[in-house]
Structure 1
């Protein structure tokens, strides 16, 4: 995987992140979702590098082999605001003052928070399979609660989800069925397995979701109330075989109050588009970036 890329550990603020980077040209950082690591981009990153970009792929804090700081009662160490600050610190450590940000799933929440909190740093924003957290919660109905019940299960601290997941992580995460080596690619699958088998990583990933029902929607709500908007050009992509359209209708309509420059379209894929429809994703990213 990632031929020609450098695998490194880079200090980013108060954490050290595992990161791969390669290519030359305008910089772009790719942020993975749950429960993936940076290796989810193994087909996308080299294609973007070949198209003339410096491509940076970190494991976000807590995920994969990046640091897993102790959390707090309010889960702020795993808030998207904290993770966004990591992204800016990482890119500056690598010599990039401004850059494009692409995020998928949980990584999409880090991506748009980076654009909101650090507008001078983010030149372009791509969100894949995501809407603002506060907008998702505002629209929570029976269908959402039925299909996305894990958001609320993960948030519990009295009977923590970590106990259930760590009892059999490979079954929980469909590691030999929907997320098997044929679907993910053998090296990417091996990295995924190592992550989900590590109880410390599982705990950190769940803290990400706990922050998603605490500091994250509060930050979104404060921005919305203040009229704060995403000022850079923005592309929204979604997997047509996932449930984005069923839950939200046209995802672009959800994003328009947040960004006057938003455009986007669906890609024929199930949820993990970087692994299941990499060429279509690369084509969309190259055109936008």
Structure 2
């Protein structure tokens, strides 16, 4: 995987980077690591400098102790990791692409550091506060894991760590045939590590509290995304079922947002990499 890329550890993050041209950072979702981009990053690296980190807490990146507010796993803390990483690599301005949980880090980076983010792509995600305010019986039934992960008595960690491979469908829908052997091996190593499982769950706990508050504060202050922004979503996932037109959800945050669906299940970088690459290239080039 990642032929021609360099593997480093910078500021607590495990990161692969390669290519040349305008810089773009790719942020994975739960429960993946940076290797989810193995079919996407090399194609983008033909014309961009591509940076793929493991998010804080995920994969082999650092896992700082949490606290009662879960702030160490807030998207603001994770976004700060990304800006520091890009500075270390010499990129003061860059595009950011985030999928799933990574989409929350991506838009938080663009909101908090508008002078540094040139373009934003969010995939399969809407602002946390928008998701929670639209929560109804269908959302609660389909996304029940948010509330299970949010329990402070830590039943999620106990249940997942008892049999992580079954919980994460590691030999069925998330098997090596779907993920690719090396990506699958990295995924397995991550979900088998109790410290990684705990950190990933802390990400969700932060989402229900401190991240929601950050979104509410931004909205009350009238802050909007100022960089060109695109949303992509997997049409065989449940984004449209829950939100209808997801672009409408984003328009109060970014009136000029563009986007479209991709024929894929949730993990689009693995399920429809060619179409994702084309969409990203078209947007990032302009």
TM-score, with structure 2 as normaliser: 0.99
Structure 2: gaps of 5 or more residues? none
Residues 149-158 or 31-40, more deviating: 149-158
The question of whether the paired residues in 2 share the 8 Å contact of 1:29 and 1:102 is answered with yes
Residue matched to 2:156: 161
TM-score, with structure 1 as normaliser: 0.98
Residue matched to 2:24: 28
The question of whether the paired residues in 2 share the 8 Å contact of 1:8 and 1:19 is answered with yes
How far residue 160 of structure 1 moved from its aligned partner, in angstroms, is 2.6
Match of 1:46 among 39, 42, 46: 42
Residue matched to 1:126: 121
What is the number of residues matched between the two proteins? 284
Aligned equivalents of 2:112, 2:155: Cα separation in 1: 31
Equivalent residue of 1:123, what SS? Answer: strand
Residue matched to 2:73: 78
Aligned equivalents of 1:124, 1:279: Cα separation in 2: 20
Residue matched to 2:253: 258
Report matched runs for 1:209-248 at 5 Å. Answer: 209-248=204-243
The question of whether the paired residues in 2 share the 8 Å contact of 1:231 and 1:261 is answered with no
How far residue 263 of structure 1 moved from its aligned partner, in angstroms, is 0.1
The question of 1:177 aligning with 2:172 is answered: yes
Residue matched to 1:284: 279
Aligned equivalents of 1:10, 1:182: Cα separation in 2: 31
Q: Could you give the per-residue CA deviations for residues 218-275 of structure 1, whole angstroms, max 9, x where no partner exists? A: 0001101110000000000000000000000001000000012200000000000000
Aligned equivalents of 1:275, 1:172: Cα separation in 2: 19
Match of 2:191 among 196, 215, 236: 196
Aligned equivalents of 1:71, 1:223: Cα separation in 2: 24
Report matched runs for 1:108-127 at 5 Å. Answer: 108-127=103-122
The question of whether the paired residues in 2 share the 8 Å contact of 1:232 and 1:261 is answered with no
Dislocated runs of 4+, deviation >6 Å: none
* CA RMSD across the alignment: 0.5
Aligned equivalents of 2:258, 2:57: Cα separation in 1: 31
Residue matched to 1:149: 144
Aligned equivalents of 2:181, 2:154: Cα separation in 1: 34
